């Protein structure tokens, strides 16, 4: 389903009354490589996609914000900007969180009518949450007449997710949702927040996303646990650093502490993944610059193995889907993407083979896994934007 902005406007008007709304759009994202490195001060290489969340908006008198979510059967959430708490609805927490964080940062927020729609599957690893946060932020900044600088916007949305949704996520999703660029990946150094737009020169190749259909409730708690394990290891490995993170950890200190038995087996595995994954991001940049699809594919396979064996965030369905892809002619490599324990596999495939490969993999997946998967082709697209301001 593609987003239909005209239809969204018409629905908005029939719900909230005449006068055309403004529309803000926040894209979802796919991460080529650099998984579970962002909150470790590491490197990531995601791209924004041409699907996402649209927020239709119009200022309203007073301090009440009314939000209707079309993708959740037109459920409604209402809150007062003077007292913003997380509230009952899960999706509503992202909207509320952004409003609260804008206000905490000194940006003006006031009453509004919002209607949200999305063409991103939830839980598929495409970061529908960051897309909703970013579209919401763009809507309120348009209504308030200010612009939030991109890095600050990403931080505000990240804080909204920490404090209102309870996931201690990194900064990758929000940054790329704001700063993505057509045909480019975003190389982000999460230690310095330096960004570079990296052209993807893989002629004749396409990115295929294969959703396992598995949605793991363990996702959030295991995510927070991994993060805590890494932070504990970082304080041992980089004790003097101003911001201890695994990015500051040196391989010599790693060996020394491991030899003294001062790291738990789980910590050793987590550090091993993060150090290796940062190197793979750098290597992927080289593969993309040289247009070497075989090399890029091998890195995807290695990343998957590391996430499965060292970081331990895969699940049987993700392993199966990646494996089924790799067996097909035309597939260069495949790996799980996102937080893990479900969601999707990203495969780099020859463009001419993409449709038949997706069909064959999904039919075998359904036979072997006993559940249905789905596939979409994704391509690097632009970041969050105001589609149009509200009618005066």
> Nearest-CA neighbor of 119 among 52, 72, 28, 27?
52
What secondary structure letter does DSSP report for 83?
B
Where in 172-211 is the site for ligand GLA (CB under 6 A)? 172-173
CB of 65 to ligand GLA, least distance (A): 25
Cβ contact 68:116 at 8 Å: yes
Cβ density class 87-114: b for 16+ within 10 Å, e for less:
bebebbbbbbbbbbbbbeeebebbebbb
* Residue closer to ligand GLA (CB basis): 220 or 258: 220
With both helix axes pointing from N to C terminus, report the angle between 251-259 and 265-290 in degrees, rounded to the nearest 10: 160
Largest CA distance in the chain: 71
Tell me the CB-side half-sphere exposure of residue 54, using CA atoms within 13 A. 23
Per CB under 6 A, 219 contacts ligand GLA: no
Please tell me which residue in 38, 77, 173, 301 is annotated as part of the active site: 173
* Residue closer to ligand GLA (CB basis): 68 or 120: 120
CB of 123 to ligand GLA, least distance (A): 11
- Which region, judged by CB under 6 A, interacts with ligand GLA, from 54-62, 134-142, 145-153, 166-174? 166-174
CB of 147 to ligand GLA, least distance (A): 24
Where in 9-68 is the site for ligand GLA (CB under 6 A)? 35-36, 38-39
Instruction: For residue 327, give every residue at least 6 positions away whose Cβ sits within 8 Å of its Cβ, in sequence order, or none.
Output: none
Per CB under 6 A, 133 contacts ligand GLA: no
Among 65, 91, 100, 127, binds ligand GLA (CB under 6 A): 127
* Residue closer to ligand GLA (CB basis): 115 or 210: 210
Measured in whole angstroms, the distance separating CA 22 from the mean position of its chain's CA atoms is 25
Cβ contact 343:315 at 8 Å: no
Among 21, 28, 123, 170, binds ligand GLA (CB under 6 A): 170
Dihedral (CA of 235, 236, 241, 246) sign: negative
| CA-to-CA dists, residue 237 to 231, 262, 276, angstroms | 10, 10, 16
Per CB under 6 A, 77 contacts ligand GLA: no
Per CB under 6 A, 314 contacts ligand GLA: no
CB of 36 to ligand GLA, least distance (A): 4
To the query of whether residue 77 is one of the catalytic residues in this protein, the response is no
Per CB under 6 A, 365 contacts ligand GLA: no
CB of 225 to ligand GLA, least distance (A): 13
Per CB under 6 A, 86 contacts ligand GLA: no
Per CB under 6 A, 98 contacts ligand GLA: no
* Residue closer to ligand GLA (CB basis): 170 or 333: 170
| CA-to-CA dists, residue 185 to 27, 300, 374, angstroms | 14, 15, 24
Per CB under 6 A, 338 contacts ligand GLA: yes
> Nearest-CA neighbor of 22 among 120, 102, 132, 114?
114
Among 22, 42, 297, 339, binds ligand GLA (CB under 6 A): 339
How many residues comprise the chain?
A: 392
Contact residues for ligand GLA, defined by CB under 6 A: 35-36, 38-39, 127, 169-170, 172-173, 338-339
User: What is the set of active-site residues?
Assistant: 173
């Amino acid at each position: 389903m593609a987003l239909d902005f005209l239809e969204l406007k018409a629905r908005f008007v029939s719900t909230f009354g005449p006068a055309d709304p403004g529309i803000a759009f926040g894209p979802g994202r796919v991460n080529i490589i650099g998984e579970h490195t962002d909150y470790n001060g590491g490197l990531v290489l995601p791209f924004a996609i041409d699907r996402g969340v649209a927020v239709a908006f119009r200022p309203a008198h007073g301090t009440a914000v009314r939000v209707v979510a079309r993708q959740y059967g037109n459920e409604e959430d209402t809150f007062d900007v003077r007292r913003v708490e997380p509230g009952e609805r899960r999706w509503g927490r992202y909207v509320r969180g952004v409003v609260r964080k804008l206000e905490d940062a000194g940006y003006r927020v006031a009453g509004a009518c919002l209607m949200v729609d999305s063409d991103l599957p939830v839980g598929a690893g495409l970061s529908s949450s960051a897309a909703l946060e970013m579209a919401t932020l763009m809507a309120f900044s348009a209504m308030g007449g200010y612009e939030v600088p991109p890095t600050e916007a990403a931080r505000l949305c990240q804080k909204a997710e920490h404090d209102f949704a309870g996931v201690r996520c990194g900064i990758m999703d929000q940054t790329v949702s704001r700063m993505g660029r057509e045909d480019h990946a975003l190389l982000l150094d999460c230690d310095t927040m330096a960004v570079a737009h990296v052209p993807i020169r893989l002629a004749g190749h396409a990115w295929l996303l294969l959703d396992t259909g598995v949605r793991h409730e363990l996702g959030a708690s295991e995510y927070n646990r991994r993060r805590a394990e890494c932070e504990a290891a970082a304080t041992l490995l980089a004790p003097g650093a101003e911001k201890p993170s695994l990015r500051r950890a040196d391989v010599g200190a790693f060996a020394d502490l491991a030899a003294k038995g001062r790291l738990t087996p789980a910590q050793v595995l987590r550090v091993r993944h993060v150090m290796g994954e940062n190197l793979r991001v750098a290597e992927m940049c080289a593969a993309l610059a040289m247009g070497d699809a075989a090399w890029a594919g091998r890195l995807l396979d290695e990343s998957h193995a590391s996430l499965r064996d060292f970081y331990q965030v895969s699940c049987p369905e993700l392993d199966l889907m990646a494996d089924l892809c790799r067996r097909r002619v035309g597939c260069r490599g495949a790996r799980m993407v996102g937080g893990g324990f479900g969601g999707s596999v990203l495969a780099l495939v020859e463009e001419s083979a993409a449709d038949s490969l997706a069909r064959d993999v999904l039919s075998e997946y359904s036979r072997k896994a006993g559940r249905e998967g789905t596939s979409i082709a994704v391509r690097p697209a632009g970041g969050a934007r105001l589609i149009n301001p509200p009618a005066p």
